[in-house]
Amino acid sequence: MAYRFLDIALTPAVRTVQEQMNADRIWSDFKGHRAFDRFSDNVAAYIAERDGFYIATVSETGWPYVQYRGGPCGFLKVLDERTLAFADYRGNRQYISTGNASADGRACLLLMDYAQRARLKMYVRVEVLALDDDPVLTQRASVPGYKVKLERIFRLHLQAYDWNCSQHITARFTEQQINEAVRPLHERLNALESENAALRTRLTNRGETP
């Protein structure tokens, strides 16, 4: 049956290691269906909730390069069931990912949800576009109010995605997630402090020592 991600990932060298580790039969006898070449509603929702991802490209000399891209939640846009896009803003101006993608459009993305210990990986083909190449796409990919200089648009064509197990993912939480988690505690604390203040006032008015 189809396992699109492994169809791309498996090379002779990978197969050799699988054989050495007695893992080759796991995949050669795979009976499931994991084409995963189109975003489901659940995957699209997962992508829309991310505030960052890692993108790996390869240079013309064969060296890999991994870069973290971050922004407001949802800055990586799901255009349709097989296409993503994001606005590329000015950074340190080394342009390594951009140069690599211009020479070889193949890339791999990792989208992490540390709080839920989930990891989505995908193979894509990258299309680097100038801002005036597709004005509608530029507007759609831009993040209103994000005050950084916009330089280009990355359009990503999905080849396959898959999920990794959560076994070795350490749970981490953003400042916003922590604030949301402790908000009920702050609200309860404020209520107790108000209650104590009211009791002290009543005791004072009755001439008693709090």
Average pLDDT over residues 188-199: 89
Band (184; pLDDT cuts 50, 70, 90): very high
Band (124; pLDDT cuts 50, 70, 90): very high
Domain at 36-164, CATH homologous superfamily: Electron Transport, Fmn-binding Protein; Chain A (2.30.110.10)
Which spans in the chain are helix H?
4-9, 12-20, 24-28, 41-48, 96-103, 135-141, 175-205
- What b/e sequence results for 127-157 when a residue is b if at least 16 CB atoms lie within 10 Å of its CB, and e otherwise? bbbebeebeebbeebbbeeeeeeeebbbbbe
**Whether the predicted pLDDT of 1 surpasses 80:** no
Q: Could you tell me the pTM of the whole model?
A: 0.85
For residue 130, what are the contacts with CB-CB under 8 A and spacing of at least 6? 152, 153
Closest CA to 83 of 143, 126, 53, 33: 126
Residue 201 pLDDT: 87
The string of pLDDT tens digits covering residues 27-77 is 877 777 888 999 999 999 999 999 999 999 999 999 999 999 999 999 999
The string of pLDDT tens digits covering residues 143-169 is 888 888 899 999 999 999 999 988 899
Closest CA to 70 of 129, 132, 148, 126: 148
